[in-house]
Amino acid sequence: MNSVNVEQFKAMIRSGCANLENHAAEINTLNVFPVPDGDTGTNMSMTFTNGYQEAIKCNSDSVSDVAKAFSRGLLMGARGNSGVITSQIFRGFYQHIEGKEEIDVSDFSLGFENGARVAYKAIMKPVEGTILTVIREASWYANHDFETQPFDLNTYFAKLVQYSAESLERTPDYLPVLKEVGVVDSGGSGLLRILEGFKAYVDGNPIDFLEKKEETTVNPALMLENEEFGYCTEFIVRLDEDYLKKFDEKILKKKLTDMGGESLVVVRDEDLVKVHVHTLKPGDALNIGQRYGEFVKLKIENMQEQHSTIIANANTEPKKQVKEEKKKEPKKYGLVAVAAGEGITKLFYELGCDVVVSGGQTMNPSTEDFVKVINDLDNCENVLIFPNNSNIILAAKQTQSVLSDRNIYVIETKSIQAGLSAVGMFNANADVEENIADLNDVIANVTAASVTYAIKDTTFEGVAVKEGDYIAIANKGIISSGKDRKAVVLELLEKLCDDKDKEIITVIVGDDKNDEEVSLIEDYISKNTDLECEIIDGGQPVYSYLIGIE
């Protein structure tokens, strides 16, 4: 095989998309921290699927046009750092092949090399030992071989996959933390799966989406009652042509049931399929649904929020109405924050945010999610985004290029704790530069810590962790681990309170709240420190406690 036309290019993308999705759960486990927010596979799969959906909708006979649509879809659907970098790789690829109806080996070879360059340029501080390293090394070696002695497309992808796999194996040499934990880079692993899918198509063995997902390990969160906790997830999918005839409601129901879904309803009406499911992992449900086609409608609601009191609902509804009315009036600033949990969301609104985008550690919003809410803030001269998670910052920053005519500023808050402090200190009367400088100072003064549970056995910086243990994390390290959550929290507080320069401690309580434990924490802080303490009922999933000290 020496060249690729439009239909072949689309089929190649599909094969790469299927291989990535089929291995998403496996990629998710390649997490340095043994916490339940390893979502690189999910983020990359959702990003790539969005690009694929845009590619197949393009009716042009030019590969260039399809590549442009694919690149745009990746850009808008980008989730997480690896998803954003993936979108930049294929943005660079499109730039090289622009204007071509068919593409040959040279186009692929130089296209991926350009993709590596564009991806590196898009990242302010590129880190080696990541997906960036894999695409740079693999594309360079494959192109070097081709320029030395030209070969066909089959040989090119064989070499590209080989060099990608070898580069991936070397990622722990660049990042010692990967070597310590015994994993390779998750983003690089996702890229390898995409390229393997491309190669499989070129070799005449395209990869299809798996009909049956591998079973996942039960974690402590599944001990909760799904009817009371978790997320009510609803979506409508317009079936791809491939599924119009072979779609089977029973298969979809089984997939959603196997992932722990309850209160399940699946209804088909011609080319539309409506799904309602209660699940602790809405991202997994969306992944399953998205493989059948394009989302027409999507809604996710926290069921614990639905059980909140009428008074709480009354406090939030007028806020939405006021927000709509204010939209008509010009404003100097519009504030957008990312959060999960009813209490945290409510607090961001009370502090002055115009929009709170649902998301966090386990469900990163896409670039398109930010674009939509910013478009709704068309009355605001300047928009400030508070991502509140390091894995969301790049997706937020991509809105600056998508909406280049708007004044968008991303305040690099890497935790909910930093985000709350920053939004609380925002000055609506100050100019943009002054605000950004002041907010960065606030963020730098916040020490963020958290308590969650471990999803696997590991040893990190000398701390042994067992699956199911509670773990305390601070300053990018594991402070303590054990079966007794009270003991783990108190050990964390002891370490945090050693800093005599701090004045305020904020404890944000998750959706697995234990009143006795919270009282114990308050007593400990009161008796052992001079810190001013604030307890917030955050209602966030996954993390029992988010603690900020400043």
pLDDT at res. 38: 61
% of the chain surpassing 90 pLDDT = 61
Domain with 516, as residue range(s), is: 447-549
Co-location of 249 and 294 in the same domain: yes
In sequence order, what are the residues at sequence separation of 6 or more whose Cβ sits closer than 8 angstroms to the Cβ of residue 470?
451, 452, 453, 454, 481, 482, 483, 484, 485, 488, 544
Instruction: Identify whether the C-beta of residue 372 lies closer than 8 Å to the C-beta of residue 359.
Output: no
Domain boundary among the residues 425, 444, 463 is at: 444
Residues 25 and 141 in one domain: yes
Residue-wise pLDDT tens digits, 446-497? 999 999 988 888 777 777 888 888 998 987 788 888 999 999 999 999 988 8
460 assigned to some structural domain: yes
Q: Which residue has the higher pLDDT, 68 or 255?
A: 68
What does DSSP assign to residue 214? P
Q: What is the rounded average pLDDT of the residues 237-262?
A: 80
Residue 265's pLDDT band (cuts 50, 70, 90): low
Looking at residue 124, its pLDDT comes to: 83
Specify the pLDDT at position 282: 78
- Mean pLDDT calculated for residue range 199-227: 62
Give 338's pLDDT tier (boundaries 50, 70, 90): very high
| H helical segments located in 426-547 | 432-444, 485-496, 515-528
What per-residue confidence (pLDDT) applies to 303?
59
Q: Does the pLDDT at position 364 exceed 50?
A: yes
Does 64 score more than 80 pLDDT? yes
CA 323, CA 215: separation in Å to the nearest integer? 44
End residue of a domain, out of 444, 470, 497: 444
Same domain as 196, residue 247: no
Flag whether pLDDT at 162 surpasses 90.
yes
**CA–CA separation, 199 vs 182, rounded Å?**
28
pLDDT computed for residue 327 by the predictor: 41
Q: Are residues 384 and 339 in the same domain?
A: yes
Q: Given the structure tokens 């998309």, which residue do they identify?
A: 17
pLDDT category at 211 given cuts 50, 70, 90 is low
Which region among 49-53, 220-224, 399-403, 441-445 has the lowest average model confidence (pLDDT)?
A: 220-224
Residues 432 and 453 in one domain: no
pLDDT given at position 357: 93
Name the residue with higher pLDDT: 236 or 140: 140
For the chain, the straight-line distance linking the first and the last C-alpha, in angstroms and rounded, comes to: 61
Question: Is residue 435 domain-shared with residue 453, that is, in the same domain?
Answer: no
For residues 177 and 239, membership in a common domain is answered with no
* One domain for residues 258 and 350: no
Write out pLDDT tens, residues 171-200: 999 988 888 878 899 999 999 999 999 999
